[in-house]
Amino acid sequence: MDSFILTSVVMRLMLHIVLVLLSWNKVKPAVCVQAVENPSCAEIRDVLTAAGMNVYVENKMHPREWNRDVQFRGRVRVQMKQADGSFCQEKFASRKDVMFYVAEMIPKLKTRTQKSGGGDTSSQQGEGGKKSKKKKK
């Protein structure tokens, strides 16, 4: 089985490398760069599972990751080829295809597109306060 590892640290490093290369080479703005800000292993897993890929998440962490939170833990292993050497999915012929697909689909997830409008109503209710009734004498 041919598989590879895709972590949130790797995705962030890829974004950084692309940005550095763009600044060095003075690439024209017409070049399309796909990147996702702070992808989590759960988001990568959800997108690839929905696409029909065999995905396994390991409880690993990059040694240079400064944040030891559970949200930043994980390594995603993706099965690219079957035992006979044929691709599991023809649309994913390379690692690059998988990474571009993940970068395209993560922003479309419900967790990324939800608005945080619920917090505004609770804060407005608390601002009113109680009116005290005074007795007239």
- In terms of Cβ atoms closer than 10 Å to its own Cβ (0-12, 13-18, 19+), residue 102 is buried
Is residue 77 classed as helix, strand or coil in its secondary structure?
strand
CATH code for the part of the protein at 2-113: 3.30.56.30
Range 27-53 average pLDDT: 80
**Exposure string (b/e) for 72-86, b if CB count within 10 Å is 16 or more?**
bbbbbebbbeeeeee
Do the Cβ atoms of 91 and 13 come closer than 8 Å?
no
Q: Model's pTM, two decimal places?
A: 0.60
Range 81-90 average pLDDT: 90
Query: What integer pLDDT is reported at residue 9 of this predicted model?
Result: 64
Query: What integer pLDDT is reported at residue 122 of this predicted model?
Result: 44
Q: Summarize pLDDT for 1-16 with one digit per residue, the tens.
A: 455 666 666 666 666 6
Range 17-27 average pLDDT: 60
Distances (CA, A) of 75 to 72, 88, 93: 10, 20, 21
